């Protein structure tokens, strides 16, 4: 399991990685923010996908923003060496609380059920290195499902089409965003739901990049592709997210 300590990048440099020039990232390291609420079953899987990035110094810290878990989520986070922020029960409130603790120039918002596939950190580094200071942009990973069979593959295709047609990726795809852009657009708003669609809509198509690495998710019940398309169309028509969140 992931083992991070505060100031991990400094420790890596003391061990010689920074002196080699290979793993020294200056300010361009990532704070990972994970919202949780009774997430003990899948949280270790999410942590495991961050190990290599932590060892290489790409991930500076992991912050678990918890909405009042009654299971072992906080114990797992503490054992992994993550920082813990206490928050409200809505996912948006957890994301806001986690962001308030983050210290890095780059933020990665990641759901606890999401695991990034190996190699994601190298692609994230490449993306960060190509972002120009005067034109900040954000990135999401490619949606993936861990199950075999036809339906998971169709779900991946639907997610790809949703991103391509409406510039509306799922929150399950993660969000890698520079702090300055996050602050410029006002960050996450505290909504009962749809906080992921709300923030990517404010980022805008021109400032949102799709990465090749996958964000792999377990299967979960959805309300069907028709409802998903309808919600995407309503977002395209600029219906306020606070209104859509009521449905």
Please report the DSSP string for the chain in residue order: -----TTHHHHHHHTTHHHHTSS--TT--EEEEEEESS-TTTHHHHHHTTHHHHHTTSEEEEEEEES--SSSHHHHHHHTT-EEEE--SSHHHHHHHHHHH--SSEEEE--TT-EEPTTHHHHHHHHHHH--TTS--EEEEEEEESS-SHHHHHHHHHHHHHHHHH----GGG-EEEEHHHHHHHT-----SS-HHHHHHHHH-GGGEEEEEEEEEE-----S-HHHHHHHHHHHHTT--HHHHTT-
Residue 181: pLDDT over 60: yes
Q: What is the mean pLDDT of the chain?
A: 84
The reported pLDDT for the residue numbered 133 is 84
pLDDT bucket at 196, cuts 50 / 70 / 90: very high
* pLDDT exceeds cutoff 50 at 244: no
Q: pLDDT class for 21, splitting at 50, 70, 90? A: very low
CA distance 230 to 13: 50
Instruction: With a cut of 60, say whether residue 98 has pLDDT above it.
Output: yes
Domains and CATH numbers, the chain: 8-244 (3.90.550.10)
CA–CA separation, 97 and 86 (whole Å): 7
What is the pLDDT averaged over residues 206-227? 81
Q: Is the pLDDT of residue 12 over 60?
A: no
Lowest average pLDDT, out of 3-17, 114-128, 155-169, 171-185, goes to 3-17
Q: What is the mean pLDDT of residues 44-64?
A: 96
pLDDT surpasses 70 at 232: no
Q: Which residues pair with 217 in a beta bridge?
A: 145
């Amino acid at each position: 399991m992931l083992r991070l300590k505060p100031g991990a990048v400094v420790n890596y440099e003391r061990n010689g990685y920074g002196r080699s020039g290979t793993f020294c990232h200056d300010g361009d390291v990532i704070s990972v923010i994970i919202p949780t609420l009774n997430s003990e079953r899948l949280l270790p899987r999410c942590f495991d996908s961050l190990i290599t990035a932590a060892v290489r110094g790409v991930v500076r810290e992991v912050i678990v923003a918890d909405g009042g878990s009654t299971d072992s989520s906080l114990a797992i986070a503490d054992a992994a060496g993550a920082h813990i922020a206490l928050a409200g029960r809505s996912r948006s409130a957890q994301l806001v609380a986690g962001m308030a603790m983050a210290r890095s120039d780059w933020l990665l918002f990641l759901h606890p059920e999401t695991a990034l596939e190996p190699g994601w950190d190298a692609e994230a580094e490449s993306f960060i290195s190509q972002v120009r200071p005067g034109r900040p942009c954000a990135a999401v990973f490619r949606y993936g499902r861990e199950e075999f069979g036809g339906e998971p593959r169709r779900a991946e295709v639907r997610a790809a089409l949703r991103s391509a047609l409406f510039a509306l990726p799922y929150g399950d795809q993660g969000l890698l965003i520079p702090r300055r852009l996050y602050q410029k657009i006002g960050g996450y708003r505290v909504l009962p739901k749809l906080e992921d669609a709300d923030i990517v809509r404010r980022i805008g198509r021109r400032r949102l990049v799709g990465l090749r690495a996958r964000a792999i998710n377990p299967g979960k019940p959805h309300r069907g592709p028709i409802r998903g398309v309808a919600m995407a169309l309503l977002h395209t028509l600029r219906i306020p997210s606070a209104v859509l969140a009521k449905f």
